[in-house]
Each structure stands twice: as C-alpha cells, then as structure tokens.
Amino acid sequence: MIAFHALAIAAFWSFSWTNLAVAIALHWLAVGFGISLGYHRLHTHRGFKTSKAFEYFLAVCGTLTLEGGPMFWVATHRQHHQLSDHEGDPHSPREGGFWAHIGWILFGDTHHNNTELMGKYAPDLGRDGFYRWLNTYHYVPLTTLGFVLLAIGGWSMVLWGIFLRVVFGLHANWLVNSATHMWGSRRFETRDDSRNSWWVALLTFGEGWHNNHHAHPVSARHGLAWYEFDISWITLKLFDAIGLVWDLKVAKIRQPLPVEEAA
C-alpha cells in the first residue's frame, strides 16, 4: 500500500494528456463498471439482470481496483449491511474514521484470499467456478493490464493507468465506508448512520447516495430525486434500452420524499 501511494505521487512528474485520458477511462471501467455496476449493484444486491458474459466482464473490471475478488467484496458488503454500524460491521466509523476508511484493510482480518470462507458468505458466487477462480487470482487482470500499458506507453503510462488511478479509486470507494457514515444528510430513518453525500456520489458514479441505498438496498437506482446525480443509474438505463441489462429494480416511493435533515 505504501509503494502504491509513493508511485501514485511519482506519476505527477510524468504527466501527459494521453496518460490522463488512459487513467480516466480505466477509472470509469474499474470503479464505474467494476465496483458500482458490478460488485455492488449486481453481484451483491442483484439490482438488475444481465447475461452471464457481461456479468463476468463486470467482475473482471472490479478486480482492476485492487479491492479483492468478487466473493470477498460481496461477502464483506453483505456483512456490512447485516451489521451496519453495529458490532461485527467490518468498517464502521463508530470504531474511528481512520478504521472505516483504511484501517480495516491494513489491520483487520479481512480474509482476502480465503475463497472457501468467502463461499459461506457469498454462496451464490461460490457455486460458480469462474468466481472461485477470480477470487483466488484477483490480481491477475490488474497485473496483465500493467504489462499491456508498459508495452503501449512505457512506465509513465503504468504510473498513471495503474498506480495513480488505483490509489484515487481506492480512496474514492473507501469514502463510501467512512464519509457517508459520518457526514451528509439523512432522508430515511435507517438503523445505521448512513448519509447522503453529493460529493462522494460524484467521485463514485452515484454510490454516495448511501442513506438512500441503505433504506432500499436492492434498488439499482441510488439517486432517488431528480437532483441526485447517479451516473451508474443513467448508464443502466442506457444499457436497458439496448437490451444489455434488464429487470432493473427501483425503489418505489409512493409519496413525496421527506425533506432531508442536515447532519
């Protein structure tokens, strides 16, 4: 983790518009498609349906974030929902903001590569041989991508497309664990401390509408009001229009949304 952060900083001494474009494109692919659409809204909560091929593609994109394999991610997130901000939550700010953001990864017993154990928490993925392989060898797609970037653009492209892009994506996603359980507004009275944060939503393709999500976890739409920009939901609507995804689950709000209460 220290090496990744050091090399992310080093990337600023090799700036080019091409490197920046590659980093942005890969960030969208890894965090927007891999985490937001894949690991989170599809693999964890089954908020929509798609073909097995596209489901596998999203899972591979998710590994490009360095956040572990799909079984690990899904099992951890399901545990978070079950015990959110209570004893047993793997990353609650009630144990400290640093713990929620990065401490649980550095010092917690996360069982990243224990595929057998993760199969108990994510049995739907554990029954699939592809997911079991990808969970064990989740580092293979990212490593392969690194060699491809090295061949195309040299070390400067690797610094931007791997190290800087991964570090930015990690902290953006970790803000959902930390910031959106500490700061923001609450539209729904949930049993946890989840909050809506517009700026985290901008960094994570709509994942910052976290109080909405905890109130309606299966909903593939997180931004429930017109002003809550949720780019992943817009993406899903476009994919639905061309038949790439279908059966989108959406929270049904039968009455006007209550006024948000500031934190």
pLDDT at 42: 98
Query: Residues 144-170: what's their mean pLDDT?
Result: 98
3-state secondary structure the chain: CHHHHHHHHHHHHHCCHHHHHHHHHHHHHHHHHHHHHHHHHHHHCCCCEECHHHHHHHHHHHHCCCCCCHHHHHHHHHHHHHCCCCCCCCCCHHHCHHHHHHHHHHHCCCCCCCHHHHHHHCHHHHCCHHHHHHHHCCHHHHHHHHHHHHHHHHHHHHHHHHHHHHHHHHHHHHHHHCHHHCCCEECCCCCCCCCECHHHHHHCCCCCEHHHHHHCCCCCCCCCCCCCCCHHHHHHHHHHHCCCEECCCCCCCCCCCCCCEEC
Domain ranges (residues) in the chain: 2-252
For residue range 133-144, what is the model confidence (pLDDT) as tens digits?
A: 999 999 999 999
pLDDT range class, residue 263, cuts 50, 70, 90: very low
Percent of the chain with pLDDT over 70: 94
**213 vs 106, residue with greater confidence:** 213
pLDDT surpasses 60 at 104: yes
pLDDT surpasses 50 at 11: yes
